Every structure is written in C-alpha cells, then in structure tokens.
Copies of this chain bind each other. A is one copy, B any other.
Amino acid sequence: MKINLQRIGTVHRLPDETCRLDLDRKFAEGLLGVEPGMRLDVLYWMHELSEEKRRQLQCHPRGDRSRPIRGVFALRSPMRPNPIGVTTVEVLEVDGTTLRVSGLDAEDGSPVIDLKMARS
C-alpha cells in the first residue's frame, strides 16, 4: 500500500496569533461553502518533528515530568509515528484560496493536508 500525501497549502502564523492558510489555487473549487464563522478541522503535517522524535512512543504529558509517562496514542503530543496535527479552528475570513483562521496551534510553515467541516 502506498500512501501518497500532497501538500494542499501552507500555514502562516500572523502577529495577532491568528493564522493565514494559503491553499494552492488548484484546490479553489473545494472551498465552495467555506465561510466566516464556520468551524473546520485543519489537518497539517508537523514538519519540524525530527525522525528521532517520530520513533519516540512515550513521553510525559505536555512535557511535565511530574506527570507519569504515557504512550503517544493516549496523548495529543506532536511526537508520534505519523505527525499529523488535527485542530478545530474558526474561519475568520475567506479571500479566494486564502483563509484567515483562529485557534490553530501549528508551527509557521506547516504543510496543510486537509480541511473538513468540524463535527460540532
């Protein structure tokens, strides 16, 4: 089985803690119906995680050594074999294939791999 992921866009962190998502223009049609006020799940690739950290399967929750070690599958830590972040954001603005969103904890430059309507 080959899993062939494509970058659909890029996260840019803005000084006011919101983020701009620049999607590739070829995905413009996919944004029909995405409007300010909507909540979306953003899937992004945590590109700054080293290969070594991808192999680390246990850690202290939030790096807090006073808390017992847990497996990464029982946490939302960035460390995990496939470092895909999933964060629910609020759409603030839509301009062509550029969105401004709040609530995204991704690093600047992270590849965006999917957007989905949030469940709630």
Contacts and interface: CB of A to CB of B under 8 A. Distances in A.
A113 B86 contact: no
Contacts of A5: 3, 5, 82
Given A3-B5, A84-B43, A34 B113 contact: no
Task: State how many copies of this chain the complex holds.
Answer: 2
B27 A74 contact: no
B30 A117 contact: no
A42 to B, nearest CB: 10
A75 B116 contact: yes
A38 B73 CA distance: 11
Contacts of A43: 82, 84, 86
Given A27-B57, A31-B74, 17 more contacts: A3-B45, A6-B81, A6-B82, A27-B81, A32-B70, A33-B75, A34-B73, A38-B74, A40-B73, A43-B82, A73-B116, A76-B117, A80-B116, A82-B113, A84-B114, A86-B86, A86-B116
